[in-house]
Chains A and B, each alone.
Chain A
């Protein structure tokens, strides 16, 4: 069974019964490979549609997700269960609880979503005092300000209020955090979450290919969060400094948050500053820097590298266009037609009725596909993802999911021709002016599509 990939999590949804006989059929080797390729921060098995499980069954599932953890250092465990199931798991794995438990997706998303709402009301209580503190510390580190109930009485007093207006974290468990470099996006800023020691092993741990493609997609601000780093040596500093110097070509700013004298000597700090990295004591100080936030949201300078259309892009234009038409047709159940194809600059009406997303393609072909949706068509196409048509957040999330589907399909279509390409995370623009700034004078192939009167424009560029 394939997991559902949502934002930074991969979740498997088995149904019915899980035992020693069927568990190995739930997550098969191909599913493990697929999950690893998507690099999620969290890999969980949901128990919401499971009526029966035993220890043997769960242990087999754990072995499967641990093999994913070994490769990509993600957090693993079970989620979406009731009190009875939670207590059953605790008693089953009493002394071997080396995985996490999150009672529902709201709680899970607190730990792994890139969006952190500081005002979110959160109530924490766990019978195990150590776990209670662990949960609170982790949430503080993410950026929340949870309320920790001191005992069961206080918890029960406040539970209803928080259930109604906030999030209750009660039946959850956090296994010891795993050292890893995770990456997330918040307000158009890329955060690299670094842990433990920063030394020569950074070269191996850091996915440079992925980083370069984030630069290509146009992210302007990158943050190395070293809050959880215990120390750093000259090799680690040199590596980060090189990233910063190389990013200058794209007009990118690199920042480092969580800097103190214990982790970094004055000399190393100077080296970092010389390479152009801005240093901040903590996340609060970084958050106060309005200039950086503005920079992150700006379109910024166009990269200096060549932005001219190349033959390989033109030769494969049909793959991009036909895939987009096909997926849009299937999801919207509207017939699509090509209306117009021109080579030109991108043009978008600065209008709330148009929604824009793009993703990069790299590997054998290097290109960027931008999709400009009319609102009605977007709502029709993404109806399986959008429950509240008035929620802008849901609409943008739906747009990103659509772009994910198109990018997956493009990859598999190129594979048919033995052409290996990868794609970046899609980027949705909340302000259409940013799109125009981002592309500047760059020319691309602009394809206008019509779906029963509704418009979708594709812009394929270098």
Chain B
């Protein structure tokens, strides 16, 4: 039963390693040196970090493996994004069944989201660390979807061929929970800041109250579909994991296109 599956999934989410948690705290207070010191104490995190930032999208000219140097080049916001990306790597499935991707594709999606999100925030002149870093956690909702539906994916595909229903809606009809609700539970388990949780709620409930968070949520929502409309991710079946609400983003669409197409 689906509710049991959700509980089981949440239960097995690992706690964050102490040194990584410390690293995140130092980044929040803007102390890059202490953050790098803590990060260096966790070999798995170091390995992940070096592998991630040497991908072409990060634009490093030479191969870099010194953590202090990496944090120095990335700066606080981007370093926080990479830390959050590491969080999601802890819950990645060994093999994807619902979506036709692998963990390298997942990382590619994360990196591309980070890159465009940074351009958007820069263009909107917004630089709060919690909001900047949430972008790399967002794909965790895909992991939630994967874990919940992988057992019954063939049946779910049959259902989806008789009803225009996203994985998100299907989950809601079956359990009363949406993917972002579960994503929120995970973020709370990882002790994310209240501001980050609030921003997730703006995104999941599509709250429009004229605040900057509401505006940013629209940009992130559209960015997610912009990325998921890339051929690789459409083929992977990621495009309809939640339903796209055009109305929600209509007002920011022209400016969004200017930003992402300009790069």
Contact = CB atoms under 8 A, between A and B. Distances in A.
Contacts of A49: 243-246
Contact of A16 (B157, B175, B244): B244
B1 A333 contact: yes
A409 interface: yes
B158 A408 contact: yes
Residue picked from A3, A5, A34, A49, most chain B C-beta under 10 Å: A49
B162 A16 contact: no
A21 B163 contact: no
A409 B225 contact: no
Given A49-B246, A412-B154, A16 B228 contact: yes
Contacts of B229: 15-18, 22
B160 A2 contact: yes
Residue picked from A17, A21, A333, A405, most chain B C-beta under 10 Å: A17
Given A1-B239, A26-B234, A6 B162 contact: yes
Residue picked from B154, B159, B225, B237, most chain A C-beta under 10 Å: B159
Interface of A is mostly: mixed
A331 interface: yes
Contacts of A263: none
A257 B249 CA distance: 52
Contact of B164 (A13, A21, A22, A405): A13
A401 B164 CA distance: 12
Interface residues of A, number: 42
B226 interface: yes
Contact of B175 (A18, A52, A333, A412): A333
B161 A4 contact: yes
A4 B170 CA distance: 14
Interface string A20-60: 01101110100000100000000000101111100000000
Interface string A401-412: 100110011001
B22 interface: no
Given A15-B244, A17-B226, A333-B2, A327 B231 contact: no
Given A46-B164, A412-B154, 17 more contacts: A3-B161, A4-B160, A4-B161, A11-B164, A13-B164, A15-B240, A17-B226, A17-B229, A22-B229, A22-B230, A22-B234, A25-B232, A26-B234, A49-B245, A384-B165, A384-B170, A405-B158
Interface of B: 1-3, 152, 154-155, 157-165, 169-170, 173-175, 222, 225-226, 228-232, 234-235, 237, 239-240, 243-246, 249-250, 253, 257
19 contacts: A14-B234, A15-B229, A15-B240, A22-B229, A22-B231, A24-B231, A25-B231, A48-B246, A51-B244, A51-B246, A326-B155, A327-B155, A330-B155, A330-B174, A333-B3, A333-B174, A335-B1, A405-B159, A405-B162
